[in-house]
Copies of this chain bind each other. A is one copy, B any other.
Amino acid sequence: MHRLNLAQANTLIEAALAKGAELGLKPLTVTIHDPGGYLIACQRQDGASNMRVKLAGGKAAGALALGVSSRTIGDMAVDRPHFIAAVDTMSEGGMVPAAGGVIICDGSGTVVGAIGVTGDTSDNDEACALAAIEAAGLRAKN
């Protein structure tokens, strides 16, 4: 497996939305990306605002761009705001420095894509992302 296939992408979205429902979260948007950061699938729940697909995508594609989770990028932005601001300007797809974007690996540790979640608090967004990865039998990159 060199990248997530569409069936896996749909499974990941369903699992993330199910977790959001279980936790009673606000309307969520979930994006699934191949290792190049390109969308494979996305779903934006009713009531979620206009920019949500871009926000979720920026979390996930940013994670793939730098090779770390968007939570870590958020921490970097606190420590070195000028650095992340510059990288964000450089980033064609946009980079969202907040938890909720997680790189996905297969069993061998190979990067096969990423998931981005937005809509509730960043911590809750990330909890849904991690739950989805586990439900799909995949691994989050540390």
**Which A positions have Cβ atoms within 8 angstroms of B?**
1-3, 5-6, 9-10, 34-46, 48-55, 58, 64-67, 74, 77-78, 80-98, 110, 112
Chain copies in the assembled complex: 4
The 14 listed contacts between A and B (C-beta, < 8 Å) are: A1-B2, A3-B35, A35-B50, A36-B36, A39-B44, A40-B43, A49-B66, A50-B65, A77-B86, A82-B85, A82-B97, A86-B94, A86-B95, A90-B96
CB of A94 within 8 A of CB of B89, answer: yes
| Shortest distance from the beta carbon of A36 to any chain B beta carbon, whole Å | 2
CB of A65 within 8 A of CB of B49, answer: yes
Distance in angstroms between the alpha carbons of A80 and B81 in the assembled complex: 11
